[in-house]
Amino acid sequence: MRTHEAGAAAPVDRDADAGWEIVHPLGGRSLDGVRMAGFRDRAGVGLDLRVLPQPAVILVIGLGDTPLTVESPTGHRSMRGLVASLSPGPARVRGERVECVEVHLSPRAAYALLGVSPCELQGSVTGLDDLWGPRARRLGERLTDAGTWHERLALTEEFLTRRAVEAPAMSPEVAAAWDAIVASRGRVRVADLATSCGWSRKRLWSRFGAQIGLTPKRAAMLVRFDRAARALCAGERVSDIALTCGYADQSHLHRDVLALSGCTPGALADMNTTAG
């Protein structure tokens, strides 16, 4: 998926087997680190997703009157919209006749647009109303009233663009460290990151954690896991994944997948998740 340009057309994918209508924006990049799509459960198949860590903060803006149910170790909550942090902890999202706009924010975009530091969201799936208050409710109402997916995606972009006007900027050193972790696919030493930005390890650890919401080591672990999870869901062999994703061996892959997802690589490969 790509970020879209205001005024661009919005092609619709119809997956008859899955029963979902998925609308992808079309056009050039308008907001760095932001991508979105519209989803509608046109066949009434229902939503049941295990929320996995991934290198993006996920916003789900629900449309209509049917809430989503978030199940976590702290209990069940009904939400019109939600925010899943980079490392949201064990949670499932369920819903009936779901219709929503989903927005993926890179850590840099999340730092600028959320209105709170990503570190305040760690270990949770948060209600969008808790984060943005009445503005979240008004946005959901406007999207519900809009007649087409094109209008909904344009309204979402307009809302985020207004927030970006006075958004805080991530420090260049932290942004560069994150980019280096992504470019290396998580195969980078923290000491090398600190040297490249001219900071001590302690300072990098502190500033990176405050602005990204993870330590550099955990961020590298997350980026490796994200690549491995996609490969597992694509049916690749565990031995090949361990080698190509930078794990010392299959047991290392097993430990990281279990630590981040709460399940084994085999179980992860079998489930429908948000990691895709």
Domains of the chain: 12-165 (2.60.120.10), 172-270 (1.10.10.60)
Which range, 19-28, 45-54, 154-163, is most confident?
154-163
- With a cut of 50, say whether residue 87 has pLDDT above it: yes
pTM over 0.85: yes
Q: Would you say residue 91 has pLDDT above 80? A: yes
| Structure confidence at residue 166 (pLDDT) | 83
Give percent of the chain above pLDDT 70: 91
CA dist list (Å): 22 to 13, 133, 172, 263, 267: 5, 27, 35, 28, 26
* Exposure b/e, 85-111, CB count within 10 A at least 16 = b: bbbbbebebebeebbbbbbbbbbbbbb
HSE, side-chain direction, 13 A CA sphere, residue 57: 33
Cα dihedral 264, 265, 268, 270, rounded to 10, equals: -110
Above 80 in pLDDT, residue 264?
A: yes
pLDDT class for 13, splitting at 50, 70, 90?
A: low
Residue 104's SS3 state is: strand
What local confidence, expressed as pLDDT, does residue 15 receive? Answer: 53
CA angle, 129 then 111 then 134, to 5°:
20
